[in-house]
Amino acid sequence: MKQTILVTGGTGFIGSHTTVELQQAGYQVVIIDNLSNSNANVIDGIEKITGVRPAFEKVDCCDIKALEGVFQKYPGIKGIIHFAASKAVGESVEKPLLYYRNNLNSLINLLELMPKYDVKGIIFSSSCTVYGQPTAENLPVTEQAPIRKALSPYGNTKQVNEEIIQDFIHSGAPIKSVILRYFNPIGAHPTALIGELPNGVPMNLIPFVTQTAIGIRKQLKIFGNDYGTPDGTCIRDYIYVVDLAKAHVKAMERVLDNPDTDPVEVFNIGTGRGLSTLEVVEGFERATGVKLPWEFAPRREGDIEKVWGNVDKANKVLGWKAEADIDDVLRSAWKWQLKLREDGIQ
Ligand code: UD1
């Protein structure tokens, strides 16, 4: 049995998939989540997949007393993977203080408790949003590309959180960190026992696509067809959530078992390949055989035209590589949507 890992936001989309991969790699997992955007029955799905029920505590990371109680109840936590955060870009513009409070306080509380409870490493969920729109010569974007002023309070919390980690470690704190900058996570576990469960009308492309395909939404709107891209629609680097989850296991092994690495490291986690919105829509139809009603609509404010990652560093240094085939990934998202209907959830 490997070390015990605390996964904050572990009932969420990426957190649940990462818990599965951690447990399958032999780690013991303690999940904390305030369930503000997820459901505790995700734990059942994790248990069905892995045969192991992770420990779960309904705790908000902003509540430092309750958080400290978790470290006391589960002595021996050696690593943290910190997913818990508010993540709706639009909402962050309307409620900036909520975003700054949630996303900054939770990290500060965790960092503060780490030395006291001898927790050695923290993996932080960052985002390619920190790059904004890279210049043409910076595409595919590397970890060295300039960080641009964030377009939203949400994006800014990712940038500031990265700085907080850097500053804390540079001050001599006895911890290590790997910061993972994700591109666009999509898909669901191949068992369809866990997946993405958006609240209300989905803002992200894939949940909107699958909800449209199943008839919950009438029509997908493709935001903008006059961008400077080959087919005029935006380009993103869509990364399979299971591949992304596996990157966290590699990162955890690196911070806990590798004494020679730098105390803070940053890795892009993507496929290294850009796909346009139209290519995704066509890919979905091809992979599932389901016809998708869609039309072009005006650009969405704040959208970035094109971004995809250079993932050489993750490939070489972390020893991780995205492996999934995009058609399989799109089928996994569709299978998950069908399962939600079967279960009467959506
Ligand atoms: C968005 C956020 C990003 C955040 C990420 C978290 C913005 C500008 N960016 O990324 O900061 O880290 O979510 O998941 O909000 N699209 C459509 N129709 C739709 C939905 C999306 O055409 O109904 C297009 C978008 O214009 C975009 C692509 O699909 O080109 C992907 O959109 P989305 O899934 O929302 O992700 P991002 O915008 O890349």
Distance 310 CA to ligand 1 centre (A): 19
Mean of the per-residue pLDDT values of the chain:
97
Q: What is the pLDDT of residues 120-135, one digit of tens each?
A: 999 999 999 999 999 9
Name the H helices within the chain.
Answer: 13-24, 42-50, 64-73, 89-94, 96-116, 153-170, 205-213, 241-257, 277-288, 312-313, 326-342
Q: Is 87 in the pocket of ligand 1 (CB under 6 A)?
A: yes
**Mean pLDDT of all residues in 225-239:** 98
Classify 224 in phi/psi space as left (phi over 0), alpha (psi -120 to 50) or beta. left
Confidence at 345, pLDDT banded by 50, 70, 90: confident
Q: Give the model's pLDDT for residue 302.
A: 86
Fill in the DSSP letter of residue 221.
E
Whether residue 321 contacts residue 250, with contact meaning beta carbons closer than 8 Å, is answered with no
Closest ligand 1 atom to 151 CA: 8
Distance 203 CA to ligand 1 centre (A): 7
Pocket test for ligand 1, best of 99, 127, 223 (most atoms within 8 A of CB): 223
Greatest alpha-carbon span in the chain: 56
Closest ligand 1 atom to 129 CA: 11
Q: Give the model's pLDDT for residue 346.
A: 79
Q: Is 204 in the pocket of ligand 1 (CB under 6 A)?
A: yes
84-97 in b/e burial notation, b at 16+ Cβ within 10 A?
bbbbbbebbeeeee
Rg (CA), the chain: 19
**Mean pLDDT of all residues in 229-254:** 98
Q: Which domains does the chain have, with CATH numbers?
A: 4-186+239-270 (3.40.50.720), 205-235+273-315+324-342 (3.90.25.10)
| Block residue for tokens 């939600």 | 340
Whether residue 269 contacts residue 244, with contact meaning beta carbons closer than 8 Å, is answered with yes
Does 182 participate in catalysis according to the annotation? no
Q: Is 300 in the pocket of ligand 1 (CB under 6 A)?
A: yes
Q: What is the pLDDT of residues 14-39, one digit of tens each?
A: 999 999 999 999 999 999 999 999 99
Six-digit token string for 238: 């869509």
Whether residue 130 contacts residue 159, with contact meaning beta carbons closer than 8 Å, is answered with yes
Give the strand pairing for 28-33 and 4-8: parallel
Q: Is 6 in the pocket of ligand 1 (CB under 6 A)?
A: no
Catalytic residue among 27, 131, 154, 240: 154
Q: What is the pLDDT of residues 51-82, one digit of tens each?
A: 999 999 999 999 999 999 999 999 999 999 99
